[in-house]
């Protein structure tokens, strides 16, 4: 579908949802249409806690991957282990660490390395699932539950696109889910340790810079 018009992609997206309205229905539609050529991207934030819980109930063999830059918070690795233990899940690791002992730098990590890692993760797939919500930042305000990812030639499902922060937390607490402990310390968005500070929305990411996205969702 590369090169399709926006209107045609939007029409096909509506057909993929086939009346799905809730996050669970959107996930089920993604699985019915694309599993096993479907993967979920996971950064172990609260949105992924919700999505993994829903996903494992619908299809326990669904694939989940994370991009490891080598500079994630220790708390990220801790909640990663808790998630795997709870669901008997093995999260696939896509390596984005500096090659050949090259020193880490934000410009290279947030540029080609993470983007290249995502493209490797999506090889051979038809669709991917993300935890994007419209409320997270102005750059995500137009996110749809399902979109055609033109640059990668796959479908992109955002089941929580319409969810508020309150709804995410309500689900987490109602289901007693493991979640990233830095959320309790003022970090609403959590990425690599050197580039993440406490803050609302995504304002804590790349603090002091005119940047809110690393390239994975643009």
> What digits encode the pLDDT tens for the residues 132-185?
999 988 888 999 999 999 989 999 999 999 999 999 999 999 999 999 999 999
pTM listed for this prediction: 0.85
Question: Checking DSSP bridges between strand 38-41 and strand 63-68, what pairing results, if any?
Answer: parallel
Q: For residue 95, give every residue at least 6 positions away whose Cβ sits within 8 Å of its Cβ, in sequence order, or none.
A: 68, 117
- Tell me what pLDDT residue 9 has: 56
Which residues are catalytically annotated? Answer: 214
Partnered with residue 64 across adjacent β-strands are: 40
Strand (E) positions, the chain?
A: 38-41, 63-68, 92-95, 127-129, 146-149, 154-157
Q: How much is the CA Rg of the chain, to the nearest whole Å?
A: 17
Q: What pLDDT band is residue 114 in, cutting at 50, 70 and 90?
A: confident
Superfamily grouping for domain 6-195: HUPs (3.40.50.620)
């Amino acid at each position: 579908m590369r090169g399709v018009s926006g209107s045609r992609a939007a029409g096909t997206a509506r057909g993929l949802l086939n009346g799905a309205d809730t996050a669970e229905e959107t996930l089920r539609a993604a699985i019915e249409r694309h599993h096993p050529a479907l993967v979920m991207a996971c950064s172990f934030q609260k949105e992924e806690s919700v999505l993994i819980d829903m996903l494992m109930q619908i299809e326990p063999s669904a694939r989940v991957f994370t991009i490891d830059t080598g500079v994630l918070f220790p708390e990220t690795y801790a909640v990663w282990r808790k998630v795997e233990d709870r669901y008997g899940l093995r999260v696939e690791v896509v390596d984005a660490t500096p090659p050949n002992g090259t020193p880490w730098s934000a410009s290279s990590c947030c540029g080609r390395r993470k983007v290249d890692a995502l493209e490797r993760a999506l090889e051979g797939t038809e669709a991917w699932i993300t935890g994007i919500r419209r409320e997270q930042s102005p750059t995500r305000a137009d996110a749809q539950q399902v979109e055609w990812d033109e640059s990668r030639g796959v479908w992109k499902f955002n089941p929580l696109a319409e969810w508020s922060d309150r709804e995410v937390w309500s689900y987490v607490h109602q289901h007693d889910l493991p979640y990233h402990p830095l959320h309790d310390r003022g970090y609403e968005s959590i990425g690599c340790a050197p580039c993440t500070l406490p803050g609302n929305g995504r304002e804590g990411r790349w603090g002091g810079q005119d940047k809110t996205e690393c390239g994975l969702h643009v």
